[in-house]
Amino acid sequence: MSITLDAPLSRQDAAAVAGGAELRLSEAAWQRLARGRAIVEAIVDRGMLAYGVNTGVGALCNVVVDRPHQRRLSRSIVMSHAVGVGAPLGAAETRAIMAAAVNNYAHGRSGVRPALVEQLLALLAEDCIPEVPSLGSVGYLSHMAHIALVLIGEGTALHRGERLPGGEALARIGRAPLVLEAKEGLSLVNGSPCVTGLSALALSRAERLAGWADNIAAMSFEVLRGQPVAFDEASLALRVSPGMQASGRRLRALLADSAILAAATGRQTQDPLSLRAVPHVHGAVRDALDMIGTTVERELASVTDNPAVMGTPEAPEVYSEAHAVAPAIGLAMDQLGIAVAELAAMAERRIDRLVNPLVSGLPPFLAADSGVASGFMIAQYTAVSLAARNRRLASPASLDGGITSALQEDHLTHATPAALKALDILDNAEHILAIELLAATQAYDLLEGGLARAAGTDLLYRDVRAALPPYRDDRPLAGDIAVARGILQRDPG
């Protein structure tokens, strides 16, 4: 798959590049880059005072840097900002950041040379991914600095899985290290591509998981013999929520003509909320993701550099502002984390109902031989633990505060940490829903009466059973959870 960037990338395009799609620039985008660079060169030639071009950065913004030292300034910025610590990001996360950076530069307001963007595109095309420590950013800066290191032949990269020094990795793909020119060091660590790329990836994963949550909830609902009248179109239409209507339609389609549910009609007046309120909770998550999607799209359409260059080479303009700060997308990622945590918390409650003989009507803990076998007893413990961890992670990063750079940066939005913890919450949620998928499938095997599943849920059941046999305490259940999580990486249909 190849994506050509002309207008700003969509969030779906950014996520596709994260997943391995090739990224190219249109001729118009290359022209915007060239014009932006010509403006920077005019600023340098005229000696116009411009932050990060011929001044220091942060609290050193009023220290003038003469022309002979501007290359050194760019290199020094990259070196001093490469302060990340901790485990490295995955390839998808790093590719997402790089795609968002290219997107930002292609607006033509950053002033980097086309050669710098060519270097980034070559790394993506050749699967030569910089090693980027995950921690150390209060908003932006450090993640892109580690990517920038590889552009200049420093740092470390993984070339098709092999870990190499940056210079050697460039040589492997036929590229030479860049010598950074005026403003390029600042532009490489500036803007908010880290949070924007990570957010596009997180949103793509969350939307896929929301689809799977409907699928898996339908299986649990059926095997627990719920009352589908709660999902009737006329009833759900009483509450205004596009997301709820979408979840309701999906549930009705999956459960249509279920002999199991037909036999259970009228068994009780109403079901517990973890079953009856599935379209309400899942729908609220869908509505939240739609709003978050608008924010991510706006961020991709925005210039996020400070300073931004405008005007023409004949009449250059430079604007010092705060576009690198990303409060809107930070708030959106906090919201995404909360939404996904709630989706997973409800799934954990359904798991408990599946394994609890007091309410399920099924063998205790879905064990094939209760007493000798524990079945899914401890898998539910794992789900409880992960749901609790999500509650801790869902605390908003946007309110963390902090002061940096000698009071020059005295308000921090922590947007990138918000995106990183949203990705952590997604990891946990995928594991929880994988456990529910396994438990619901096992419950079908133990359900007495021989009644037919709905056609929609039967397809899901068969998909799992094609990959895994029924569980009989005959193998580590952790392996089954990993397989089920792999299923959740597919399109939910």
Distance CA 116, CA 307 (A): 18
Question: Which of 158, 190, 222 marks a domain boundary?
Answer: 190
Same domain? For 41 and 58 the reply is yes
pLDDT higher than 70, residue 61: no
Number of domains in the chain: 2
DSSP 3-state of 374: coil
Rounded-to-integer distance, Cα 481 and Cα 487, Å: 10
186 shares its domain with 274: no
Q: Which pLDDT value is given to residue 54?
A: 77
Residue 294: CB atoms within 10 A of its CB come to 12
User: What pLDDT, on a 0 to 100 scale, did the predictor assign at position 3?
Assistant: 96
Asked if pLDDT for residue 422 goes beyond 90, the answer is yes
| Residue whose tokens read 């040589």 | 171
In a domain, 79, yes or no: yes
What pLDDT, on a 0 to 100 scale, did the predictor assign at position 29? Answer: 98
8 A C-beta contact, residue 192 and residue 333: no
How far does Cα 290 stand from its chain's mean position? 14
> What does the H/E/C string look like for 121-140?
HHHHHCCEEECCEEECCCCC
Let me know whether 173 and 239 are in one domain.
no
C-alpha torsion 444→445→447→449, nearest 10: 110
Catalytic residues, by residue number, are 51
Q: What is the CATH number of the domain that holds 158?
A: 1.10.275.10
List pLDDT tens digits, range 301-359: 999 998 999 999 999 998 888 888 899 999 999 999 999 999 999 999 999 999 999 99
Strand partners, 309: 318
Backbone angles phi, psi at 24, to 5 degrees: -130, 165
Largest CA distance in the chain: 85
Residue 316 lies in a domain: no
pLDDT at 59 over 70: no
pLDDT digits (tens, 9 = 90+) for 423-439: 999 999 999 999 999 99
Of 163, 190, 217, the residue at which a domain comes to its end is: 190
% pLDDT > 70, the chain: 98
Q: Per-residue pLDDT for 220 more than 90?
A: yes
Q: Is the pLDDT of residue 360 over 90?
A: yes
How crowded is residue 328: how many other Cβ atoms within 10 Å of its Cβ? 17
DSSP annotation of 23 reads E
Q: Quick one: 440 and 353 in the same domain?
A: yes
The residue whose two tokens read 């699967």 is 127
Q: Which amino acid appears at position 127 of this protein?
A: D
Amino acid at site 68: P
Phi first, then psi, for residue 249 (nearest 5°) are: -60, -40
Secondary structure (3-state) at 175: coil
Q: Which two tokens stand for residue 464?
A: 């799992």
CATH of the domain at 348: 1.20.200.10
pLDDT at residue number 138: 82
Is the residue at 319 inside a domain? Answer: no
* Cβ atoms of residues 264 and 227 within 8 Å: yes
- Residues with Cβ < 8 Å from 149, sequence gap 6 or more? 78, 79, 82, 130, 155, 156, 166
Calculate mean pLDDT across residues 284-300.
98
- Same domain membership, residue 145 and residue 55: yes
What six digits make up the tokens of 350? 């359904």
129-158 pLDDT, tens digit each: 999 999 988 877 899 999 999 999 999 999
Residues 178 and 222 in one domain: no
Q: Phi and psi of 281, rounded to 5°?
A: -75, -50
Instruction: Return the pLDDT at 393.
Output: 97
Q: Does the pLDDT value for residue 186 go beyond 70?
A: yes
Q: Is residue 182 a part of any domain in this protein? A: yes
Query: Which has more confidence, 102 or 323?
Result: 102
* Residues 165, 269 within the same domain: no
Instruction: Check whether residue 220 and residue 332 sit in a common domain.
Output: yes
Helix (H) or strand (E) holding 415: helix 415-446
* pLDDT for the residue numbered 197: 97
CA contacts within 13 A on the Cβ side of 384 = 9
Q: Which of 142, 160, 190 is the last residue of a domain?
A: 190
* Residue 299 sits in the same domain as residue 397: yes
Structure tokens at 20: 């391995």
Give the amino acid at 426. Answer: L
Closest CA to 9 of 88, 80, 102: 102
Q: What is the residue-wise DSSP string for 88-110?
A: EPPHHHHHHHHHHHHHHHTTS-S
DSSP codes, 211-269? HHHHHHHHHHHHHTT--GGGG-HHHHTTS--HHHHHHHHHHHHHHTT-HHHHHHTTSSS
Domain assignment of residue 111, given as a range:
2-190
